[in-house]
Chain A
């Protein structure tokens, strides 16, 4: 029997057998399926909305159309890259809880190919369900999207993507989910016993930081040489590429930064919640990054939004009708970009926080047994998440500022509206994460109220 055939046979069987567990049934389903579907649905809905909302810019061909298209590319990169990151994170969320079961299968003799196929099938199915739901949400939002005005006219029917485009987006989300899940299985495939006994923690090598720094430096240099690239479309492509690569680099570097910070905090920890918070991050820097990565991305976006508002501000005094429209449209664009970014943060924080509590349910019960008050458990969790937020948000904003400096110059970058915007974005992002943590606290109470349900959820 081929690996694929075996995987097709085993996947429904394992899904059914996990649903027969008597304890924590609803919570298991929520964590293993509901949350990833929600995440994929949000990603798809936002991707389609961004694509639909920006396609109107490519229908113009006059002199100023290029300016709109350049701004649209920037906005799309600032939204699409974080959305794809969220999608990959959702795929890892869906796959992570299966790691233990899949490791057991490897130890029983299942081939690597079988295990990979099983993961790909499950993740793709969840992504497909979520993506179709997301497309439905986009269809509900499109009429309202059509009311948004650019260049003095509502975008109307331009907000609707063609059916092949929508299907293409759904397919892209599924491919992203499958690829992310398969890549994340390397550890299970190579060292199944290590996964089962949790001998080694997830590392975050310093090479990540080095690569990220090189990419940002490369981006800054490229931005400084934009005018030498000649054709306008090439300039737009280079600009978009630099911003996109920088966002990806931040995503790569994030876990390493968190590991460094947590190592330092571990040495200085004096109280139980400080010790636990540091060890929680060190146990899995990548998982910790998933909790805060959304805010880091939004901070990156915040700098561009602030610069956009500063640009609009400086142009506001001009008497030209076209320029007045452009200023208004820039403000509209930055608000939409910011809104999309915050929706992404809210989804990311909410999904990952909910999953984090369920994932650590048996640990919470163990802490309760040793007499740790619930408020200390909550304090440890809050510290593990909020402590790195300021650092990663600051690094992201600094990287964005470095990239945009060659474009706009220091005078524009240091205008008060930029600092106010970035500060506002920090505050709003932190608030969203804090709200997600508060929702998770209620979950902790539920877990501790019925500890017998969760005492062996990890087995």
Chain B
């Protein structure tokens, strides 16, 4: 199996605690991986180190690219920014979208940062928003959207550039269970349909159950790493809801 992202002996300290304790981790292209564990176990720290947001105190993080392996832990800020624009997408619990931009502009911005002209960016952003059930809401500000709708905007922004890896930190943490299921459906189906790798930090076992693989952390160490057989993305999350076909997303985007 080819690992798209590989971490070795990751270590990160905070004053008075060890957030990551010599962690080894690898993600294969196209996998959906849930990182679970109790509060303070190091889940978010691991995610941030893998995404290049945090520098580990020791250890290496390597991204496999067409140009060869890239050591994230030794990149400068400029190179990391480029990675975040081109290779990574992020979905956070609080969205981290820009409140002064419309839904459309928030998604288009990711493409514009890669040099795509505004007209094309907004057209592609509109396609993504429509595919995620937000047609007609492009001009709304974030304050005019529900929590679930905001997260769909974040999911669109994370993938519109064709990012190979999507990092999600408690993407459904602030949502009720029904909305959580909807958002999770959208996230998993869109990621799978485009062959992307998904790393999602969660404390919710229902979210973990929907992923192909579950990695459990405790006190900064991986205590379990289980590849699990899970329902394929085409199976509905609840019997009453027909699942969107995986091709629905793939057909809509030429990424």
Report yes or no: A376 in contact with B113, Cβ–Cβ below 8 A: yes
Report yes or no: A368 in contact with B81, Cβ–Cβ below 8 A: yes
* In the complex, chain A residues whose CB is within 8 Å of the CB of B83: 371
* In the complex, chain B residues whose CB is within 8 Å of the CB of A371: 81-86, 88, 110, 113
Report yes or no: B53 in contact with A369, Cβ–Cβ below 8 A: yes
Report yes or no: A198 in contact with B141, Cβ–Cβ below 8 A: yes
Report yes or no: B94 in contact with A370, Cβ–Cβ below 8 A: no
Surface stretch bound by B, among A235-243, A250-258, A272-280: A272-280
* In the complex, chain A residues whose CB is within 8 Å of the CB of B3: none
B137 CB → nearest A CB, Å:
14
Report yes or no: B100 in contact with A280, Cβ–Cβ below 8 A: yes
Bound Cα distance from A267 to B77, whole angstroms: 32
Bound Cα distance from A275 to B97, whole angstroms: 15
Q: Is A18 interfacial (CB 8 A cutoff)?
A: no
Report yes or no: B100 in contact with A275, Cβ–Cβ below 8 A: no
Point out the residue from B53, B109, B144 that lies within 8 Å of A199, measured CB to CB. B144
Bound Cα distance from A272 to B84, whole angstroms: 16
Report yes or no: A373 in contact with B81, Cβ–Cβ below 8 A: yes
Bound Cα distance from A354 to B53, whole angstroms: 25
Bound Cα distance from A282 to B77, whole angstroms: 30
Report yes or no: B100 in contact with A366, Cβ–Cβ below 8 A: no
Q: Is B209 interfacial (CB 8 A cutoff)?
A: no
- Beyond the given pairs A198-B143, A199-B144, 5 more chain A to chain B contacts, judged by CB atoms under 8 angstroms and listed by A's residue number, are A272-B113, A275-B109, A279-B98, A369-B84, A370-B157
Given A369-B84, A371-B84, A372-B113, A459 contacting B94 (CB threshold 8 A):
yes
Given A269-B118, A376-B113, A370 contacting B90 (CB threshold 8 A):
yes
Contact flags A345-382 to B (C-beta < 8 A → 1, else 0)? 00000000000000000010111111111101000000
Q: Is B123 interfacial (CB 8 A cutoff)?
A: no
Q: Is B117 interfacial (CB 8 A cutoff)?
A: yes
Point out the residue from B96, B109, B110, B143 that lies within 8 Å of A365, measured CB to CB. B96
* In the complex, chain A residues whose CB is within 8 Å of the CB of B157: 370
Instruction: Report B's interface with A, CB cutoff 8 A.
Output: 53, 77-78, 81-86, 88, 90, 92, 94, 96-101, 105, 109-110, 112-113, 117-118, 141-144, 157
Residue of A whose beta carbon sits closest to that of B48: A452
Q: Is A16 interfacial (CB 8 A cutoff)?
A: no
Residue of A whose beta carbon sits closest to that of B158: A370
7 nearest A-B residue pairs (beta carbon): A371-B85, A371-B84, A283-B100, A199-B143, A366-B96, A197-B143, A272-B112
Point out the residue from B78, B98, B144 that lies within 8 Å of A366, measured CB to CB. B98
Report yes or no: A366 in contact with B97, Cβ–Cβ below 8 A: yes
A372 CB → nearest B CB, Å:
6
7 CB < 8 A contacts A-B: A198-B99, A275-B118, A279-B100, A370-B84, A370-B109, A371-B81, A372-B109
In this complex, how many residues of chain A approach chain B with their Cβ under 8 Å: the count is 33
Bound Cα distance from A197 to B101, whole angstroms: 14
Residue of B whose beta carbon sits closest to that of A374: B77
Report yes or no: A270 in contact with B117, Cβ–Cβ below 8 A: yes
Residue of A whose beta carbon sits closest to that of B54: A452
Report yes or no: A369 in contact with B98, Cβ–Cβ below 8 A: no
Residue of B whose beta carbon sits closest to that of A363: B98
* In the complex, chain B residues whose CB is within 8 Å of the CB of A368: 81, 84
Residue of A whose beta carbon sits closest to that of B110: A370
Bound Cα distance from A427 to B146, whole angstroms: 47
* In the complex, chain A residues whose CB is within 8 Å of the CB of B97: 366
Point out the residue from A271, A283, A369, A451 that lies within 8 Å of B112, measured CB to CB. A271
* In the complex, chain B residues whose CB is within 8 Å of the CB of A201: 100, 141
* In the complex, chain A residues whose CB is within 8 Å of the CB of B77: 374, 448
Bound Cα distance from A71 to B2, whole angstroms: 81
Q: Is A26 interfacial (CB 8 A cutoff)?
A: no
Q: Is A165 interfacial (CB 8 A cutoff)?
A: no
* In the complex, chain B residues whose CB is within 8 Å of the CB of A199: 141, 143-144
* In the complex, chain B residues whose CB is within 8 Å of the CB of A376: 113
Bound Cα distance from A448 to B117, whole angstroms: 27
Q: Is A446 interfacial (CB 8 A cutoff)?
A: no
Q: Is A456 interfacial (CB 8 A cutoff)?
A: yes
Bound Cα distance from A282 to B99, whole angstroms: 12
Contact flags A256-272 to B (C-beta < 8 A → 1, else 0)? 00000000000001111
Bound Cα distance from A456 to B83, whole angstroms: 23
Report yes or no: B84 in contact with A270, Cβ–Cβ below 8 A: no
Residue of A whose beta carbon sits closest to that of B105: A275
Residue of A whose beta carbon sits closest to that of B45: A452
* In the complex, chain B residues whose CB is within 8 Å of the CB of A451: 53
